[in-house]
A and B are shown apart, each in its own frame.
Chain A
């Protein structure tokens, strides 16, 4: 009896949790399969569900979507480049700080942590001016560099903590065998750090893919902009074709969701490891 009461209580908690999580996503989906004339009908399920919105998006048959494929590609290029660059910068830095005990490493770590804690929307204003004075405004490089700057502090922090956990004896043994720091980096450090590296690469990639604020500030030209900026165009009118926006939005949201679910175990262990120490 008590057991059933317990299960009942769990289900009672689960129902609002599921509703809360799913309602906006469900609404997004319903609009994405609604024909234009029933977008504002407020139905829980469209009278005539259709996939024609996706066809319109794929054929770029709307003014807001005239660069859909290009912008999807831009999002991809920006996200992957950010992921790779962040991984490179952070892996080197974490190795230098944690294993090589580079002079000034501790200071750099603290500076990185402070950067990590600057609210991103606050840094955006001076970042915009800075990119202007570097002459990089409206180039993808500007967005990529800004995203690397935003993602690498956390990346370094997580990688440094993972790296601190590797036994020092490994380095010592390698040194005894006459290995140089670079050889240790390549043959000891990189293979052992693989799960954390995957997590961090994906973290930076998703951060860049999902970014909106920096994207529309630094990269407003339609041909170079990522899809998030393209989606933001729909905000410019109150009577935008929301069904097309949601269809595009769904396509835009699927890659990060899929990547997250494929790598979720690596991600959660890799990314929460740092925070839990608190």
Chain B
């Protein structure tokens, strides 16, 4: 793909190359500045702050930290897999060519399109065990006098946070997998139909092989972002009751606000063995397709 037409004029070509390289560096400069000033420096500063072994001893002695680690791992395993499986299934539903399903998709995207603050706080008020709409309706419709303690029971609150996270991010992943599905050539399905393939066989032998790579990439990406999801926990439970639903993303901020910056940084560095391999794999996966 090199500029073959310009080969005819060798001298012009090398000077042209130099101009292009110079302009390339000039145009790259703004982002390099952003990268240095706003990413490299904070990361380096964080590593410097996190270099004190005493912080880690204090961190591991903090029972909330251990809760947060367990919660984070559970959150990742449950939220990501449930979300991706539902997204895969729903993408099949939204791929059905019907006008009303296309309109429904527009509605379905809303949770992703609107900001977290009002919607998650809406969940918070709605799930209030005493005066939230859910429990009051349970009482009125089914006579359940004391509805589930949604946000005051540690486990229920944790699962509610997972639910809110899924509510917020499911549309995005459904859309991504739907785009992958719609890119599958129609004649593959026609050929499968001619061969008398069942619905399951069509999924297993046509759809799945075509979206498997996308599904894996999406799962990894979703894991990384779920790890950084502060809003679902903070806005719904505030990490409570009694810090039982803290995850690493909220705990770091909690330390920061309690003036224990070193613990905040340490709690993040502790998560790096989990994050860095994923980042490495993802950078390779994502840049593979782009470097033609």
Say how far A10's CB is from chain B's closest CB, in angstroms. 6
The residues of A that contact B179 with a CB separation of less than 8 Å are: 268, 272, 275-276
Most chain A beta-carbon neighbours within 10 Å: one of B93, B109, B111, B125: B125
A277 and B290 form a contact (CB under 8 A): yes
B238 at interface by CB-CB < 8 Å: yes
The residues of A that contact B108 with a CB separation of less than 8 Å are: 17, 21
**Which of A23, A44, A278 contacts B289, CB < 8 Å?**
A278
A212 and B116 form a contact (CB under 8 A): yes
A156 at interface by CB-CB < 8 Å: yes
A125 and B252 form a contact (CB under 8 A): yes
B49 and A260 form a contact (CB under 8 A): no
Residue of B nearest to A215 (CB): B117
Cα(A129)–Cα(B268), bound, Å: 14
Residue of A nearest to B12 (CB): A175
B117 and A252 form a contact (CB under 8 A): yes
Overall SS of chain B's interface: helix
Question: Interface residue tally of chain A, by bracket?
Answer: 35 or more
Top 6 nearest A-B pairs (CB, nearest first) are: A119-B228, A249-B118, A102-B24, A42-B136, A126-B46, A100-B24
B285 at interface by CB-CB < 8 Å: yes
A119 and B275 form a contact (CB under 8 A): yes
Do A120 and B290 form a contact, CB below 8 Å, given A31-B125, A276-B183? no
Cα(A124)–Cα(B267), bound, Å: 13
Say how far B104's CB is from chain A's closest CB, in angstroms. 6
The residues of B that contact A128 with a CB separation of less than 8 Å are: 256
**Which of B26, B218, B282, B292 contacts A164, CB < 8 Å?**
B292
**Which of B24, B123, B252 contacts A101, CB < 8 Å?**
B24
A181 and B19 form a contact (CB under 8 A): yes
> Which of B58-66, B185-193, B201-209, B229-237 interfaces with chain A?
B229-237
Cα(A135)–Cα(B278), bound, Å: 34
**Which of B21, B213, B238 contacts A235, CB < 8 Å?**
B238
The residues of A that contact B39 with a CB separation of less than 8 Å are: 111, 115, 123, 149
A123 and B42 form a contact (CB under 8 A): yes
The residues of A that contact B117 with a CB separation of less than 8 Å are: 210, 212, 228, 231-232, 249, 252
Question: Can you show 27 pairs from A to B with CB atoms below 8 A apart?
Answer: A10-B101, A17-B90, A25-B114, A101-B20, A105-B28, A106-B291, A113-B282, A114-B279, A117-B282, A118-B228, A119-B249, A120-B228, A122-B248, A126-B42, A126-B43, A130-B45, A133-B45, A160-B290, A164-B292, A181-B19, A206-B113, A213-B231, A245-B121, A256-B113, A260-B109, A278-B213, A278-B289
B194 at interface by CB-CB < 8 Å: no
A246 at interface by CB-CB < 8 Å: yes
Residue of B nearest to A123 (CB): B42
Q: Mark B105-127, 1 if CB is under 8 A from A, else 0.
A: 01111110111111101110110
**Which of B115, B176, B291 contacts A272, CB < 8 Å?**
B176
A28 and B118 form a contact (CB under 8 A): yes
The residues of B that contact A43 with a CB separation of less than 8 Å are: 133
A89 at interface by CB-CB < 8 Å: yes
A54 at interface by CB-CB < 8 Å: no
Do A235 and B235 form a contact, CB below 8 Å, given A119-B249, A126-B265, A278-B213? yes
A191 at interface by CB-CB < 8 Å: no
A130 and B180 form a contact (CB under 8 A): no
A40 at interface by CB-CB < 8 Å: yes
The residues of A that contact B88 with a CB separation of less than 8 Å are: none
Most chain B beta-carbon neighbours within 10 Å: one of A43, A101, A130, A185: A130
A97 and B249 form a contact (CB under 8 A): no
A103 and B25 form a contact (CB under 8 A): yes
Say how far A151's CB is from chain B's closest CB, in angstroms. 10
Q: Mark A243-278, 1 if CB is under 8 A from B, else 0.
A: 001101110110011001100100010001011111
The residues of B that contact A13 with a CB separation of less than 8 Å are: 93
**Which of A17, A118, A181, A276 contacts B23, CB < 8 Å?**
A181
Say how far B135's CB is from chain A's closest CB, in angstroms. 7
Cα(A240)–Cα(B221), bound, Å: 36
